[in-house]
Chains A and B, each alone.
Chain A
Amino acid sequence: MKKKTKSGQIVLHSVFIILTLMYLLPFLLVVSISFSSEAAILKEGFSLIPRDFTLDAYKMVFKNSEQIINSYRTTIIFSVVATALSLLVMGLMAYAMARPNYMFNRFLSLYVLFTMFFNGGMIPTYILIMKTLHLGDTIWVYIWPTLVGAYNLMILRTNYRSLPYELIEAAKMDGANELFICFRVAMPLTLPAFASVGFMYFVQKWNVWNASLLYIKKRTDLYSLQYLLQRILNDASYMQEAIDQGLIDATNVVIPSESLRYALAMVAAGPVLVIFPLFQKYFAKGLTIGGVKG
């Protein structure tokens, strides 16, 4: 019996090791391409081990590339500001919704859940943002439209509900107002939920490309990092154009276009993958308590 379990575990681990390779090899491939020389790529194609190891692509990314720096700055600013504002607005709203004796809490739940299943669609939203609110070509277009999300609100609400109600009652007895209780009692006690929601929201913002695609027309300095990356992957001509305009400095004779693309991908995806382990422990928790039912 014991032996059987052991061999079972070995089979299980083998399956997981194959699976792990399916996930890690593609990442390794991207890393390797970014360190390969352009000549080697042209001659022998992409490979898992860097051919003709070189840092040329990275040097080019960081040297004098105005557009990349602009997009980086834009992305950092809107990701940080949007995450902070979102947690503040949703933290307050969820606090009210979590109160069992609050008069409008059923109505608000419906009001929020409805947005999960019905919306105006891409085009009415586009008209609202561009023509009515004139948010196009401003950094606010990354911040306001998606600040409040139904799913995250429900996670925060469920977390507040798990707090003992007497805590809030006691604070009220002491004459504290709701804003004070929310900030000083409820929020500190549900910090793990805020960490998990905040991190997921930050990642979502960091990875934004469609807002640039739709709403940024003239201000190229407001392109998000991921959108810039998309332009560079899809427009073969974009690279040449960028060099002609001096956005990318090309003092080298050979332009490392393939490896440069992948070096950029590394630079764009890196930060999130680096901070991810810090937040991992909150995750499964945040995910399961987000149950929509109830």
Chain B
Amino acid sequence: MKKRKLSKTKIHETLELTMLALPGIVLLFIFNYLPISGVLIAFKDYNPNKGIWGSPWVGFDNFKFFFTSQDAVRTIRNTVGYSLAFIIFEIITGVTLAILFYNLRNQKALKFYNTVVILPRFLSMVIVAYIVYALLSPTSGVFNAILRQFGADGINWYGEPVYWPFILTFVHIWCTVGMKSILYYASLVGIDTGLLESARMDGANKWQETWHIVIPHLIPLIIIQTIMSMGHIFNGDFGLNYQVTKNIGALYPTTDIINTYTFRALQEASLERGAAVGLFQNGAGCIMLILVNAIVRKVRPEDSLF
């Protein structure tokens, strides 16, 4: 009798909690799960009047169209190239900055520097594009003014693709290093100070301390961050490559990524081609995530994501 009563309150509780979660569940379903069924369009010759279901099947034609085009090589190379550069430099700069923070004695100064480096996190990519334009504008930009000061000719930055991999990587790191460094710094605060003290007693200097204690402490976090980033390796930063380059066609050889390509497909109303590219992007990203995680699980099982 008592047991039955208990399970009744249990059911009641489950029902109540589910009601609370319901609005969120429904919204996630509509905006994150329903579109997944829309990837069907990648296998169709989409006609807006007939809708997704009514349009005729074309098999893998839309994929073939993309993969046999010049754009495929260019966009995939650029997307993966930028992603890898971002992953590597985010780790190097983020960890370095965190260690510098960790060695600062003055807490007030620490807070000030912290605030300064996370400022760009609160700017939209549009504002970042304005800042970059102030530096690189061919006529009134600061960089060209400096070049002319030294007697050199100004560079037409927005017409020369060769500089952009460096510019975009720099801008990306400028925007993200603050948050990354705080993430690593928060982990460093948890270091066992007794360990550092005994190392110091044994005569270890700052470099040895950093190399043998501080960095190893960060490795698990670095690995998790890398696994997560690998899942998004085919997903470029649309805002960066679209806004900061001002979407200038002359720069496409080095700035066009899969996301900007998909956006153009949308504008040209070839939805099915864009969806095919999007599906490839997502599928390949998932495979990378699982692959990298599997490798980590083999080498350092305790640090894998799942």
Q: In the bound complex, do residue A99 and residue B137 qualify as a contact, i.e. CB atoms below 8 Å apart?
A: no
Contact of A120 among B38, B51, B118, B238 (CB under 8 A): B38
A-facing residues in B125-166 (Cβ within 8 Å): 125-127, 129-131, 133-135, 137, 139-142, 144-145
Size band of the A side of the interface?
35 or more
Residues in A neighbouring B201, C-beta threshold 8 A: none
Q: In the bound complex, do residue A125 and residue B135 qualify as a contact, i.e. CB atoms below 8 Å apart?
A: no
A-facing residues in B1-22 (Cβ within 8 Å): 13-14, 16-18, 20-21
Known: A90-B24, A96-B20, A104-B18. A233 touches B119 (CB 8 A): no
The CA of A161 and the CA of B20, in the complex, are separated in Å by: 17
Asked if A207 is at the interface of the complex by the 8 Å CB criterion, the answer is: yes
Q: In the bound complex, do residue A128 and residue B34 qualify as a contact, i.e. CB atoms below 8 Å apart?
A: yes
The CA of A214 and the CA of B247, in the complex, are separated in Å by: 15
Q: In the bound complex, do residue A99 and residue B115 qualify as a contact, i.e. CB atoms below 8 Å apart?
A: no
Q: In the bound complex, do residue B31 and residue A144 qualify as a contact, i.e. CB atoms below 8 Å apart?
A: yes
Contact of B145 among A45, A99, A262 (CB under 8 A): A45
How many A-B residue pairs lie within 8 Å, measured between CB atoms? 259
The stretch that binds B, out of A20-28, A54-62, A237-245, is A20-28
Q: In the bound complex, do residue A287 and residue B41 qualify as a contact, i.e. CB atoms below 8 Å apart?
A: no
Asked if A162 is at the interface of the complex by the 8 Å CB criterion, the answer is: no
Query: Closest chain B residue to A179 by CB distance?
Result: B20
- B30 smallest CB distance to A (angstroms): 8
The CA of A47 and the CA of B24, in the complex, are separated in Å by: 49
The CA of A284 and the CA of B18, in the complex, are separated in Å by: 31
Q: In the bound complex, do residue A265 and residue B18 qualify as a contact, i.e. CB atoms below 8 Å apart?
A: no
Q: In the bound complex, do residue B286 and residue A269 qualify as a contact, i.e. CB atoms below 8 Å apart?
A: no
The stretch that binds B, out of A5-13, A63-71, A248-256, is A5-13
Q: In the bound complex, do residue B141 and residue A45 qualify as a contact, i.e. CB atoms below 8 Å apart?
A: yes
Q: In the bound complex, do residue B127 and residue A269 qualify as a contact, i.e. CB atoms below 8 Å apart?
A: yes
Query: Closest chain B residue to A275 by CB distance?
Result: B122
Q: In the bound complex, do residue A265 and residue B127 qualify as a contact, i.e. CB atoms below 8 Å apart?
A: yes
Residue interface mask A255-294, B partner, CB < 8 A = 1: 0001001100100110011001100100110011000110
- B174 smallest CB distance to A (angstroms): 7
Residue interface mask A78-94, B partner, CB < 8 A = 1: 00000000000110110
Q: In the bound complex, do residue A125 and residue B31 qualify as a contact, i.e. CB atoms below 8 Å apart?
A: yes
Query: Closest chain A residue to B110 by CB distance?
Result: A16
Residue interface mask B193-224, A partner, CB < 8 A = 1: 00000000000001000000000000000001
Q: In the bound complex, do residue A209 and residue B126 qualify as a contact, i.e. CB atoms below 8 Å apart?
A: yes
Q: In the bound complex, do residue B142 and residue A45 qualify as a contact, i.e. CB atoms below 8 Å apart?
A: yes
Q: In the bound complex, do residue A233 and residue B129 qualify as a contact, i.e. CB atoms below 8 Å apart?
A: yes
Q: In the bound complex, do residue B206 and residue A92 qualify as a contact, i.e. CB atoms below 8 Å apart?
A: no
Asked if B299 is at the interface of the complex by the 8 Å CB criterion, the answer is: no
Residues in B neighbouring A185, C-beta threshold 8 A: none
Query: Closest chain B residue to A40 by CB distance?
Result: B140
The CA of A60 and the CA of B4, in the complex, are separated in Å by: 73
The stretch that binds A, out of B63-71, B72-80, B83-91, B257-265, is B257-265
- The B interface is mostly helix, strand or loop, or mixed, namely helix
The CA of A198 and the CA of B109, in the complex, are separated in Å by: 27
Asked if A170 is at the interface of the complex by the 8 Å CB criterion, the answer is: no
Residues in A neighbouring B247, C-beta threshold 8 A: 234
Q: In the bound complex, do residue B35 and residue A230 qualify as a contact, i.e. CB atoms below 8 Å apart?
A: no
The CA of A229 and the CA of B123, in the complex, are separated in Å by: 13
Asked if A222 is at the interface of the complex by the 8 Å CB criterion, the answer is: no
Q: In the bound complex, do residue B32 and residue A119 qualify as a contact, i.e. CB atoms below 8 Å apart?
A: yes
Residues in A neighbouring B39, C-beta threshold 8 A: 120-121, 124
Q: In the bound complex, do residue A9 and residue B18 qualify as a contact, i.e. CB atoms below 8 Å apart?
A: no
Residues in B neighbouring A119, C-beta threshold 8 A: 32, 35-36, 282
Q: In the bound complex, do residue A124 and residue B36 qualify as a contact, i.e. CB atoms below 8 Å apart?
A: yes
Residues in A neighbouring B224, C-beta threshold 8 A: 292-293
The CA of A119 and the CA of B100, in the complex, are separated in Å by: 38
- A250 smallest CB distance to B (angstroms): 21
Residue interface mask B23-49, A partner, CB < 8 A = 1: 111011011111111110100000010
Q: In the bound complex, do residue A96 and residue B275 qualify as a contact, i.e. CB atoms below 8 Å apart?
A: no
- A60 smallest CB distance to B (angstroms): 17
Q: In the bound complex, do residue B274 and residue A122 qualify as a contact, i.e. CB atoms below 8 Å apart?
A: yes
- A81 smallest CB distance to B (angstroms): 15
Q: Which of A13, A95, A99, A123 has the most CB of B within 10 A?
A: A123
Q: Which of B23, B37, B137, B139 has the most CB of A within 10 A?
A: B23
Query: Closest chain B residue to A272 by CB distance?
Result: B122
- A256 smallest CB distance to B (angstroms): 13
Q: In the bound complex, do residue A179 and residue B16 qualify as a contact, i.e. CB atoms below 8 Å apart?
A: yes
Q: In the bound complex, do residue A112 and residue B28 qualify as a contact, i.e. CB atoms below 8 Å apart?
A: yes
Residues in A neighbouring B129, C-beta threshold 8 A: 230, 233
The CA of A33 and the CA of B141, in the complex, are separated in Å by: 11
Residues of chain A whose beta carbon lies under 8 Å from any beta carbon of chain B: 8-9, 12-13, 15-16, 19-20, 22-24, 26-27, 29-30, 33, 41-42, 45-48, 89-90, 92-93, 95-97, 99, 102-104, 108, 111-112, 115, 117-128, 131, 133, 144-148, 153, 177-179, 182, 203, 206-210, 214, 226-227, 229-230, 233-234, 258, 261-262, 265, 268-269, 272-273, 276-277, 280, 283-284, 287-288, 292-293
Q: List 11 A-B contacts (CB under 8 A).
A: A46-B140, A104-B14, A104-B18, A117-B231, A119-B282, A124-B36, A124-B39, A203-B122, A268-B124, A272-B122, A273-B122
Other than the given A45-B141, A293-B224, 12 more pairs (CB < 8 A) read A29-B142, A42-B140, A93-B20, A93-B24, A124-B36, A127-B38, A127-B271, A148-B27, A148-B31, A233-B246, A269-B124, A269-B127
